[in-house]
């Protein structure tokens, strides 16, 4: 709790860090803001073409929307966790020099990621308009979905980044592991094609339910059902708490390792 | 003047480290399963005591790894000591090191504000001092250009200007004079002298013994965490030089402290896996 208050006291620094991330990311590109929209748009178009013409899954209408509705949040999750690890190991020696809350890297990276995620909804909407996918008012629920997903993401980012400070191989293992994790989540394929004996694996994966928070409003045009919401919220809160505790425990040794 | 502004009483900073560094998680798991990890204690500071009166300047000298920066971090409240007490009375500026959190892609102006935020200063405070910072650094023409277009000397000038634009009565300086050309170093020394004239207390860590001699009235010499001498700057520097000459031209640096998981602070030496 005290740490949380401390973090709030540093909201000015947090705002500065987010602003820095966004400036570095967006400002130096030639066509500025449009470019930043263009690159996810191009990626989305490529993936849409690949997966709706080459690898076809039968029985999914508006496959591009099906897939993008979760791929966007996967991008946010994987980018945020990896970047937090890199930031903490690379710039963590800052923590030795200035008195700032140690979790500030993870929080700032997650906040920047959320802004990027919100912006990425614009090219998504553009694609949905072009392919005439239905756009439902349920999408107004997305901010809530994104925040719950961000809680989970922050928890994972905190735990992993603390571990990465101690051990050089954590970030490499995670980069490989996260590819596996993505394919273990029904993002690009429907759950219905998974053989029954592997279904438990998919169900056990917390991202499966969590990402439904994004798929329901975007693809199905409905609010997420209560049980999806409840499970996601519980998983996200538990992960955040666990990540926070791990981080807090390991942070005591940061001074020696950074 | 009698009341010490900074006072260390038997300050000890100890780490528990494994006998051999464990670089990867894989190796840690293997070693936890197959053998016992031997831990031993390493002291970055070992019962260090000193007093610093208001308005004076104390130089901290010693070889690499002697614990000079650790001492500053304890004084700055970043690193809690594992033993003893570190008392600091007064308004403390953050440890001043060059280029804290500079980002090459941002412009000079943006870096001034970002670095200021890191050092805990508000935007309004930085805005009020912005003109002064630019003026001192002499970078008025390139302040809007990204930092990657700056030369090393330009970065150093901006960094020093940002770092020393503070209102505080205790300053902690870590190797701030290590870069820049002769003219700029003189300018930096002048600024530090002006702090002293205003009665600011200074704790100054440096390898530059001439700078220590010219700026500090007292000095302490640390050797592997142990206070070897303290007192008049000239004497302490002379003893340090004598010692360095006796062990070889360049005093041998202590190997860097690093280790595995998890370093319990200040535990007696023990072996075997955790209970």
Write the pLDDT tens digit of every residue in A150-173.
Answer: 999 999 999 999 999 989 899 899
The pLDDT assigned to B2 comes to 57
Q: What is the pLDDT of residue B25?
A: 86
Joined tokens for residue B105: 């892609």
The three-state DSSP-derived secondary structure of chain B is CCCEEEEEEEEEEEEEEECCCCCCHHHHHHHHHHCCCEEEEEEEEEEEEEEEECCCEEEEECCCCCCHHHHHHHHCCCCCCCEEEEEECCCECCCECCCCCCCCCCEHHHHHHHHHHHCCCCHHHHHHHHHHHHHHHCCHHHCCCEHHHCCHHHHHHHHHHHHCCCCCCEEEEECCCCCCCHHHHHHHHHHHHHHHHCCCEEEEECCCHHHHHHHCCEEEEEECCEEEEEEEHHHHHHHHHHHHHHHCCCCCCCCCCCCCCCCCCCCCCCECCCC
Q: Measured in whole angstroms, how far is the alpha carbon of residue B233 from the centre of its chain?
A: 19
CB-based contact B25 A255, cutoff 8 Å: no
What is the model's pTM? 0.81
Give tens-digit pLDDT for A22-48.
877 776 655 566 666 777 778 778 877
Q: Is the CB of residue A82 less than 8 Å away from at least one CB of chain B?
A: no
Distance from C-alpha of B181 to C-alpha of B186, rounded to nearest angstrom: 9
Q: Nearest-CA neighbor of B156 among B131, B182, B130, B129?
A: B182
Note down the domain range covering A80.
Answer: 2-257
| pLDDT value for B271 | 38
* More reliable by pLDDT, A203 or B15: A203
Using an 8 Å CB-CB cutoff, list chain A residues near B100: 94, 97-98
The verdict on A176 touching B (C-beta cutoff 8 Å) is: no
Q: pLDDT, tens digit, for every residue of B23-45? A: 888 888 888 888 777 788 888 89
Does the pLDDT value for residue B256 go beyond 70? no
Contacts of A96 in chain B (CB under 8 A): 73, 78-79
CB contact under 8 A, A256 and B119: no
Q: Answer whether A160's CB lies under 8 Å from A174's CB.
A: yes
Whether residue A253 and residue B262 make contact (CB cut-off 8 A), yes or no, is yes
Determine what percent of chain B is predicted with pLDDT higher than 90.
7
- CA–CA dist A77, B221 (Å, integer): 50
Task: Give contacts of B26 with chain A, Cβ < 8 Å.
Answer: 169
Query: Taking CB atoms and an 8 Å cutoff, what residues of chain A touch B79?
Result: 96, 255
**Nearest residue of chain A to residue B147 (CA atoms):** A24
Is A16 in the B-facing interface, judged by CB distances under 8 Å? yes
Identify the residue with better confidence: B253 or A250. Answer: A250
- CB contacts of A17 in chain B (<8 Å) are 114, 117
Query: What number is the average pLDDT over the span A72-88?
Result: 93
Cβ atoms of A151 and A123 closer than 8 Å? no
Which residues of chain A are within 8 Å of residue B146 when distances are taken between CB atoms?
Answer: 28
**Average confidence score pLDDT of chain A:** 87
Residue of A66 and A237 predicted with greater confidence: A237
Of residues B37 and B216, more confidence is placed in B216
Closest Cβ opposite residue B24 in set A27, A168, A257 = A168
Residue B207 pLDDT grade (very low, low, confident, very high; cuts 50, 70, 90): confident
Q: Which residues of B touch A12 (CB under 8 A)?
A: 117, 122-123
Residue of A nearest to B28 (CA): A167
Are the Cβ atoms of B257 and A256 closer than 8 angstroms? yes
Residue A23: which of B28, B106, B261 has the nearest Cβ? B106
Side-chain-facing half-sphere of B42: CA atoms under 13 Å: 22
In this prediction, residue A33 carries a pLDDT of 65
Nearest CA distance, B114 vs chain A (angstrom) = 6
Nearest to B102 by CA among A91, A256, A73: A91
With CB atoms and an 8 Å threshold, state whether A16 touches B114. yes
Q: Which of A22, A167, A247, A250 is the best substitution to test chain B (most B C-beta atoms within 10 A)?
A: A167
Of B17, B23, B73, the CB nearest to A256: B17
| Cα B52 from Cα B86, distance rounded (Å) | 12
pLDDT, greater one: A216 or B3: A216
CB proximity A96 to B under 8 Å: yes
Contact B103 A12 (CB under 8 A): no
pLDDT of residue A178: 94
Lowest mean pLDDT among A40-49, B97-106, B117-126, B202-211: B97-106
pLDDT at B252 over 50: no
Joined tokens for residue A57: 């899954």
**pLDDT confidence band for B160 (50 / 70 / 90):** confident
Mean pLDDT of B210-224: 88
pLDDT at B26: 85
* Cα(A236)–Cα(A234) distance, integer angstroms: 5
**Residue pLDDT, tens place only, A112-123:** 999 989 988 888
Gap from A72 CA to chain B (nearest CA, Å): 27
What is the number of residues in chain B? 275
B163 contacts A98 by C-beta, under 8 angstroms: no
Q: Tell whether the model's pLDDT for residue A110 goes beyond 90.
A: yes
* Edge-to-edge strand ranges of the sheet holding B170-174: B170-174, B201-205, B57-61, B218-223, B226-232
Domain count, chain A: 1
- Distance CA(B188)–CA(B98), nearest Å, equals 12
């Amino acid at each position: 709790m005290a740490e949380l208050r401390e973090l709030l006291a540093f909201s000015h620094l947090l705002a500065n860090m987010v602003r820095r991330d966004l400036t570095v990311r967006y400002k130096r590109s030639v066509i500025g803001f449009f470019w930043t929209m263009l690159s996810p748009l191009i990626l989305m178009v490529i993936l849409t073409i690949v997966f709706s013409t080459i690898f076809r899954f039968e029985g999914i209408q508006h496959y591009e929307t099906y897939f993008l509705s979760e791929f966007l949040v996967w991008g946010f999750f994987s980018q945020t966790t990896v970047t937090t690890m890199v930031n903490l190991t690379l710039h963590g020696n800052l923590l030795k020099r200035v008195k700032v809350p140690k979790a500030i890297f993870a929080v700032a990276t997650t906040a920047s990621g959320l802004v990027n995620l919100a912006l990425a909804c614009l090219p998504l909407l553009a694609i949905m308009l072009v392919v005439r996918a239905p756009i439902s008012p349920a999408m107004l629920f997305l901010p809530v979905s994104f925040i719950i997903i961000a809680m989970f993401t922050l928890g994972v980012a905190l735990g992993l980044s603390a571990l990465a400070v101690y051990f050089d191989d954590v970030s490499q293992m995670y980069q490989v592991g996260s590819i596996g994790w993505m394919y273990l989540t029904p993002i690009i394929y429907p759950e219905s094609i998974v053989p029954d004996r592997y279904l438990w694996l998919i169900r056990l994966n917390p991202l499966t339910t969590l990402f439904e928070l994004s798929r329901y409003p975007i693809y199905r045009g409905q609010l997420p059902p209560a049980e999806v919401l409840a499970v996601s919220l519980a998983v996200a809160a538990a992960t955040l708490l666990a990540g926070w505790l791990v981080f807090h425990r390991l942070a005591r040794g940061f001074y020696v390792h950074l | 003047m009698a009341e010490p502004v900074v006072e260390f009483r038997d300050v000890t900073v100890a780490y528990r480290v494994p006998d051999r560094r464990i670089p990867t998680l894989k190796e840690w798991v293997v070693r936890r399963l197959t053998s016992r990890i031997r831990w031993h204690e390493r002291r970055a500071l070992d019962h260090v005591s000193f007093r610093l009166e208001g308005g004076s300047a104390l130089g901290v000298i010693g070889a690499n790894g002697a614990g000079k920066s650790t001492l500053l971090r304890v004084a700055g409240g970043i690193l809690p000591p594992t033993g003893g007490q570190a008392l600091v009375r007064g308004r403390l500026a953050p440890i001043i090191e060059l280029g804290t959190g500079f980002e090459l892609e941002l412009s000079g102006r943006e870096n001034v504000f970002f670095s200021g935020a890191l050092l805990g200063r508000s935007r309004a405070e930085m805005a009020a001092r912005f003109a002064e910072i630019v003026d001192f650094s002499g970078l008025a023409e390139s302040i809007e250009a990204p930092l990657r277009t700056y030369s090393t000397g330009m970065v150093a000038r901006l960094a020093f200007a940002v770092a020393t634009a503070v209102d505080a009565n205790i300053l902690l300086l870590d190797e701030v004079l290590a870069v820049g050309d002769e003219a700029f170093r003189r300018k930096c020394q002048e600024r530090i002298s002006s702090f002293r004239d205003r009665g600011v207390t200074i704790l100054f860590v440096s390898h530059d013994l001439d700078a220590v001699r010219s700026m500090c009235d007292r000095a302490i010499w640390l050797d592997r965490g142990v206070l070897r001498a303290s007192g008049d700057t000239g004497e302490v520097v002379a003893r340090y030089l004598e010692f360095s000459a006796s062990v070889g031209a360049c005093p041998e640096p202590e190997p860097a402290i690093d280790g595995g998981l998890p370093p319990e602070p200040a535990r007696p030496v023990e072996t075997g896996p955790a209970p």
